[in-house]
Amino acid sequence: MKIMSAIGLKLFPLRSRHVLPGFRLSLGFTLFYLTSLVLIPLLALVIRPMELGPSGFWAAISTPRVLASLRLSFGMALAAAVIDSFFGVIIAWVLVRYRFPGKGFLDAVIDLPFALPTAVAGIALSTLYAPNGWIGSVLAEYGIRVAYTPYGVLVAMVFISLPFTVRTVQPVMAELGLEVEEAAATLGATRLQTLARVVLPMLWPAVLTGMAMAFARAAGEYGSIIFIAGNIPAVSEIAPLLIITKLEQYDYAGAAAIGVVMLAASFVMLLALNGLQSWAAKRR
């Protein structure tokens, strides 16, 4: 019997769901778990601000304080993503192309912001950049204040988003063929010209993808920022903190309205990422 069915399979290769058992069970559990824990609660977020009506929704998110917090979160996230992309490319290049002692350690340390709880990063950065801290005291001599200003927000965002840029660019760099660089060199290009006009253009899709991921993470970040930001309304108060403030005032709809704006922004980012990836696939 078994031999017969094995022969049958060979003659008529079945690529149907019947070959392996467990389709209904695994898909059913996946959909149930996803719907009950993620989709229904997210639906609550989208539905809640509707009780405000369109004008009420607009009124809730267009107050100067809310607008300032959104501008701070997204503006600083963009700046952090650009800074991280710049240094991320350099770090990835050093890790992929150069050989030096301690490289493995340096490579592993890149993921520290992923592994270190954000609250720990928050109090460490805050102490470090405070006017009497290790870095803050040096900067204070030049009249620069970081902690308890919008620049504190930037420092925290640069910290937590760095791995995204390095880890997106690194594998792409590792798979670059050396032939094009050799070709550029034989055609008389200097090494810097080769790097700027041959290597860097091949990296753009990965750099932009990493930048988008870093931006998305930084815009939504909360834990590492609130300790160093000082949280002055309309100056150094980030959007996620304002959501919590509204919740503590039992303004659920107002909190949800800001949440919807942030969710919409991350959707746009997700779409942009997908677009970037198909663009990169086409270029390959």
Partner 1 sequence: MKKRFLKPTEDPLWLRLFLGAVAIAFIAILLLLPLALVFKEAFANGIGAFWTAIKEPDTLASVRLSLIAAGIAVPLNMVFGIAAAWCITKYDFPGKTFLVTLIDLPFSVSPVVAGLIYVLVFGAQGWFGRSLADNNIHILFAVPGIVLATIFVTFPFVARELIPLMADQGRDEEEAAATLGATGFQTFLRVTLPNIKWGLLYGVLLCNARALGEFGAVSVVSGHIRGVTNTMPLHVQLLYDNYDYPGAFTVAALLAMLALLTLALKSLLEWRYADELAAAHRH
Q: Give the tokens for residue 136.
A: 């803050």
Instruction: Kindly state the smallest distance separating residue 8's Cβ from partner 1, in Å.
Output: 9
Reading the block at residue 157, the tokens are 């965002």
SS (H, E, C) the chain: CHHHHHHHHHHCCCCCCCCCCCHHHHHHHHHHHHHHHHHHHHHHHHHHHHHHHHHHHHHHHCCHHHHHHHHHHHHHHHHHHHHHHHHHHHHHHHHHHCCCCCHHHHHHHCCHHHHCCHHHHHHHHHHHHCCCCHHHHHHHHCCCCCCCCHHHHHHHHHHHHHHHHHHHHHHHHHCCCCHHHHHHHHCCCCHHHHHHHHHHHHHHHHHHHHHHHHHHHHHHCCHHHHHHHCCCCCCCCCHHHHHHHHHHCCCHHHHHHHHHHHHHHHHHHHHHHHHHHHHHHHHC
Nearer to partner 1, 75 or 220 (CB): 220
Q: Which is nearer to partner 1, 149 or 217 (CB)?
A: 217
Least Å from the CB of residue 65 to partner 1: 16
Measure the CA–CA gap between 77 and 216, rounded to whole angstroms. Answer: 8
Nearest-approach distance from CB 53 to partner 1, in angstroms:
18
What span, in angstroms and rounded, lies between the C-alpha atoms of 74 and 19?
49
CB of 144 to partner 1, least distance (A): 15
Taking the complex as a whole, how short is the minimal distance between the CB of residue 117 and partner 1, in angstroms?
3
Q: C-beta of 200: minimal distance to partner 1 in Å?
A: 13
In angstroms, give the least distance from the CB of 58 to partner 1. Answer: 20
Instruction: Kindly tell me which of 149 and 158 has the beta carbon lying closer to partner 1.
Output: 158
Alpha carbon of 102 to those of 107, 117, 170: distances in Å? 9, 25, 17
Residue 36 or 63: the one with the smaller Cβ distance to partner 1 is: 36
Q: Which is nearer to partner 1, 211 or 256 (CB)?
A: 256
With respect to partner 1, which residue has the nearer C-beta, 145 or 181? 181
Nearer to partner 1, 143 or 188 (CB): 188
